[in-house]
Amino acid sequence: MNLLRYALSAKEMQVCDRNTREYFGLSSLVLMERAALKICDRIEELLSEDMRKIVIFAGRGNNGADALACARILHERGYQARIFLLGEETKSSEECKIQKKILERYRLSIENYSKETEWGEGPFLILDGIFGIGFNRKMEGIYAQAVREINRLRKQEPHTRVLSIDIASGIHADNGQVSDPCVRADITLTFAFAKIGQLLYPGAEYTGKLEIADIGITAASFLGVMPQASYLTESVLELLPERSPSGNKGTFGKCVIIAGSDKISGAALLCAETCYRSGAGMVKVITSKENKEAVQTSLPEALSDFYSLTDGIRCYEELDLILDEAFEWATSLVIGPGIGTSRGAYRMVLRALTKYTGPLILDADALTMIASSDELKDLLLQYQGGRRWVILTPHVKEFASLYGTSVADVKEHLVPYTIELAKKYGVCVICKDARSIIASYELPGYAINVSGNCGMATAGSGDVLAGLLGALACLLPSPYRTAAVGAYIHGKAGDLAKKELGEYYMLAGDLMKRIQKVLSE
> How sure is the predictor about 1, in pLDDT bands with cuts at 50, 70 and 90?
very low
Whole-number Å distance between alpha carbons of 43 and 47: 6
Fold of 5-227: Rossmann fold (3.40.50)
Whole-number Å distance between alpha carbons of 270 and 464: 6
This model's pTM is above 0.85: yes
Give the closest residue to 397 by CA, choosing from 438, 441, 358, 431: 431
Do 382 and 375 contact (CB within 8 A), yes or no? no
Domains 5-227 and 235-520 share a fold: no
Q: In 3-state terms, what secondary structure has residue 208?
A: coil
Return all residues near 439 (Cβ < 8 A) that are at least 6 apart.
Answer: 418, 419, 421, 422, 423, 428, 429, 431, 445, 446, 447
pLDDT for 72 beyond 70: yes
Return all residues near 101 (Cβ < 8 A) that are at least 6 apart.
Answer: none
Do 209 and 186 contact (CB within 8 A), yes or no? yes
> DSSP per residue over 98-167, as a string?
HHHHHHHHTT--EEPP-TT----S--EEEEEES--TT--S---HHHHHHHHHHHHHHHHSTT-EEEEESS
Whole-number Å distance between alpha carbons of 96 and 248: 66
pLDDT digits (tens, 9 = 90+) for 372-430: 999 999 999 987 656 579 999 999 999 999 999 999 999 999 999 999 999 999 999 99
Whole-number Å distance between alpha carbons of 142 and 130: 11
> How sure is the predictor about 16, in pLDDT bands with cuts at 50, 70 and 90?
very high
Do 469 and 271 contact (CB within 8 A), yes or no? no
pLDDT digits (tens, 9 = 90+) for 292-321: 999 999 999 999 999 997 766 678 899 999
Do 304 and 287 contact (CB within 8 A), yes or no? yes
> How sure is the predictor about 2, in pLDDT bands with cuts at 50, 70 and 90?
low
Whole-number Å distance between alpha carbons of 101 and 94: 11
What pLDDT was estimated at residue 384? 65
pLDDT digits (tens, 9 = 90+) for 90-135: 999 999 999 999 999 999 999 999 989 999 888 999 999 999 999 9
Cα torsion angle, 411, 413, 415, 416, sign: negative
Give the closest residue to 437 by CA, choosing from 403, 475, 474: 403
Give the closest residue to 274 by CA, choosing from 454, 517, 513: 513
Fold of 235-520: UDP-N-acetylmuramoyl-L-alanine:D-glutamate ligase (3.40.1190)
**Within its chain, how far is the Cα of 99 from the centroid?**
37
- Strand order of the β-sheet with 161-165 is 110-111, 81-85, 53-58, 124-129, 161-165, 187-191, 209-213
- The domain locations on the chain are 5-227, 235-520
What is the residue-averaged pLDDT of the chain? 95
